[in-house]
Amino acid sequence: MTDMTMVTDVRAPMSGWAPTCEPAALARATVAFLDAASTAFGRATAYNTREEGQAAELAVHEALLRLDRGLYALLLTLPGVTDRARQVGVKNLLGVKGDTTIGADVERRVLSHLVAELPATRVFKLFVALRAGDEKAGIQRANNARTRKLILRVILGSSKVELWAVKYRTKMAEALTHAWGQRTTSILRSILGRSVETWSDKEQAIVRKALDRFARDVEKARACVAFVLRASVATSLPLLSAYEAAKTDLSLGKRLPLEVLEGIRSTFHKDVKKETVLALAKDSLTTGQKMQVQRRAAEAGVDVRMDVAEYDAVRLYLYAFEMGMTREILEALVAKARVTALQVRLRLGYGRIGILLDASASMTGSREQPLRPMATALALRDVLAHAAEATIVRAGGDGDGMLVRPSGATSLAEGLVELLVARVDAVFVLSDGYENGPAGRFAEVVAAVRAIGISTPIYHLNPVFAAESKGVRQLAQDGAVTLPVRAPEALGLGFVRGLLETDPARGLAQLADIALPQLLGKEA
């Protein structure tokens, strides 16, 4: 959307944004929120049961919501905030009434932005949760006019409505039924199952009120609703037509999403091999699928082209771990690091930095997401190295180039001293916090360094969070700041979090500064 009027409308209330309560209290609530919003996944961890974890997480959300609803809404748009936190945030903003410091119009746009940022699968899961509540996910039901309108606006106003109709047919029908209610849905199914010429004035009015006013493309939205509600009506929309045609001739479904085509194959063409489906759907794969199917495609002799520039640095490192590093990936990683570094540089404020990279075996991470901690640490290293003049020291690991595989024990103390001897302005330790050479040696050295009178800031950026490991572990209780960072894009946020603890008012203002462009950038 390129609506400059809207941009002005959004900026106006924020330009006068100021804490509505005591800044220190608001900063404390904000720090707690940022930690939860970037680390909590609503699942059990080694420390807590799911119920305990969710209770603490929801309390943190509600505390900030009560203190400053506007700031709460804006912070949900920040990079590094998990999808889970955004789902809870949408529920809270829809389910709890209250005055907002950013105005109702901006809050509505925040809601639309948050939902638009979620992957489609999570969007539909959220809609189902809003209808019925999801005790397992800690989401209570929110069934009001705002919720219903949001659902209709998101689905019917989406440019992807046709894709969603074939890909999430049942879930989309459920969400629409929730928004309209059983009776209206039934009436709409009946109306949409007939040609427009046969509709009475009253029926036309019903369709306009329930459907057309939320639609980006009225004809397309009507056809898609008819499809998901299984109203038998012919359509000329390409994906919907392909869906029906593929039932008799699989090759006619080549423009359908891979998983949809595989579903049709398994039901209507059991004798056709899976590799045939991959060959047919190779041009309609999503960016993520193109990466996921590379090995399978290579084995099947299917050429699936992927543009490495479309993937974030962490995913590229994970891909390189699996498939090997190529010049193309390497160049993409450097280019991405440069771009992100430009954003980070201003907030970093250091000319010369030291980077201590923990590449020990534990950076392999969990079985569920193998190598993600190492991939994240490598991506963070790249951004930091481009954001300032950097000296890099590595502890453990195999490999001489950019790709370092985790290996060996963790001994970080010597590396820290080495960097401080190099007289850097700040040290960034990229580590999961598991130290064994021996445990506590890093903290001993930090204490000794401070006793000497050296005040060089030491930041421990920890890429391992509750769901992947055991929560964020500190290397030193005193003398070093531990920041949870799950992606290079969230680096700036991490520094502001530190500022919130030392200068609450300035930190809050900086947060608002980061959050607003996020919202505007996505809408512009």
Partner 1 sequence: MTLTVEMILKGTGIGPMQSVGQMQVIPIVAPADATDDDATYAPPQLEVGTSCYGSVALRNANDKPTIVPYGAGWVVEERAQDHAIGSGAFLQAGEHKVLGKAMCIQQSQPGLIARAKRAMTILPAKLRAKALAVRHVEQYNKLWEHITAFNTALGIDAAANLVTFLRSFAKELDEFVAEFELVPRQIGAIVLVGGEIVGVERAPSAAYFAATWEPLVRVCYGSLAIAAGRSRATPPATRLPLITGAKTLEALRSALAELRTREEVLTQQLMSFVRPLRLERADRADDTLDDAQLWTVAGMRLGGQVVIAGDAVKYASLVAAN
The residues of the shown chain that bind partner 1, judged by CB under 8 A, are 46-47, 360-362, 396, 398, 407-411, 413-414, 417-418, 420-421, 432, 434-441, 444-445, 448-449, 451-452, 454, 469-470
Minimum distance of partner 1 from residue 163's CB (angstroms): 38
CB of residue 230 vs partner 1: minimum separation in angstroms? 39
Residue number with CB closer to partner 1 (48 or 276):
48
> By C-beta, is 22 or 398 nearer to partner 1?
398
272, burial (CB in 10 Å: exposed 0-12, middle 13-18, buried 19+): middle
Cβ nearer to partner 1, comparing 373 with 504: 373
Torsion, CA 176, CA 179, CA 183, CA 188, rounded to 10:
-50
What is the C-alpha separation between 403 and 254, in angstroms, rounded?
37
Query: Of 101 and 362, which has the nearer Cβ to partner 1?
Result: 362
Amino acid at the residue 399: G
Other Cβ atoms closer than 10 A to 466: 22
**Least distance from partner 1 to the Cβ atom of residue 457, Å:** 16
* Other beta carbons within 10 Å of 21: 11
Q: 395 vs 487, which CB is nearer to partner 1?
A: 395
Q: Could you tell me the end-to-end alpha-carbon distance of the chain, in angstroms, rounded to an integer?
A: 5
How does strand 352-358 pair with strand 389-395?
A: parallel
The nearer residue to partner 1, 219 or 444, going by C-beta atoms, is 444
- Least spacing, CB of residue 442 vs partner 1, in Å: 10
Could you tell me the smallest distance in angstroms from the CB atom of residue 358 to partner 1? 11
* Min dist. Cβ of residue 448 to partner 1 (A): 5
Q: Which residues contact 400 (CB under 8 A, 6 or more apart)?
A: none
Residues forming a β-bridge with 354 = 391, 427
Whether 332 and 394 have beta carbons less than 8 Å apart is answered as: no
Cβ closer to partner 1: 92 or 360?
360
Q: Which candidate, 258, 179, 171, 188, places its Cα nearest to that of 222?
A: 188
Q: How far is the CB of 386 from partner 1 (least distance, A)?
A: 27
Parallel/antiparallel/unpaired status of strands 481-484 and 458-462? parallel
Do 67 and 118 form a contact (C-beta atoms < 8 A)?
Answer: no
